[in-house]
Amino acid sequence: MKKVLFFTFLFLLSCSDLQKETQQAKIKELQGELSAYQIKFQNEFIDTLFDMKTNTSDLEQSIKKHYHSDTIDLAMGRKIDSYKRMRRMLDALSRTGIMLKHSFEEENEQLKVLLSDVTNGYGQRDQYDNYIKLERTKNEQIFVLLNEYQGLKKESFGIYDSLHVDLSLFVNQLIEAQ
């Protein structure tokens, strides 16, 4: 009877080690995905965003100060409207970038703690799979946020590149005409 109990205990112990290794592999996979997202973000991150926001704001103020017309040029109005919309996108881009930085730091720390808990058997072992699912969901949310950041960047930079030079020249012509 003692042998049966011993073998049953040994079998259960070996099964928990297999589950532990599987859980550790899943966590390491999540860490790898997060690391890849973080590298992608670092390559996409705009460190000159403050300067761009300042330039766009200054240009907008110059247009307001120097452009006085009795009639509205529809094409110019659309350009200025698109430019204002782009400036607001830069604010959203900045907020999203800050949110992503914090998310990466927080998620890296959470995955380290979870891996340590699984490795050392801390906490509620029966909940480890649920914790791993939760961290996977967080990784997916970070990926969605990163895609949003990339989309905002592409759209706002497209508008900036197409309009900034034209509007700068327009303002310079207005200043010279006065």
pTM comes to 0.81
- Residue 163 and residue 93: Cα distance in Å, rounded? 18
pLDDT of 14 reads: 47
160-163 long-range contacts (CB < 8 A, ≥24 apart) are 160/52, 160/56, 160/86, 163/79, 163/82, 163/83, 163/86
The DSSP secondary structure of 87-113, one letter per residue, reads HHHHHHHHHHHHHHHHHHHHHHHHHHH
Query: Structural domain boundaries of the chain?
Result: 19-177
Residue 117 · residue 54 · CB < 8 Å? no
pLDDT of 1 reads: 60
pLDDT of 174 reads: 84
Tell me how long the chain is: 178
Per-residue pLDDT of the chain (178 residues; tens, 9 = 90+): 666 555 555 454 444 556 889 999 999 999 999 999 999 999 999 888 889 999 999 999 998 888 887 776 888 889 989 999 999 999 999 999 999 999 999 999 999 999 999 999 898 889 999 999 999 999 999 999 999 999 999 999 999 999 999 999 989 988 888 7
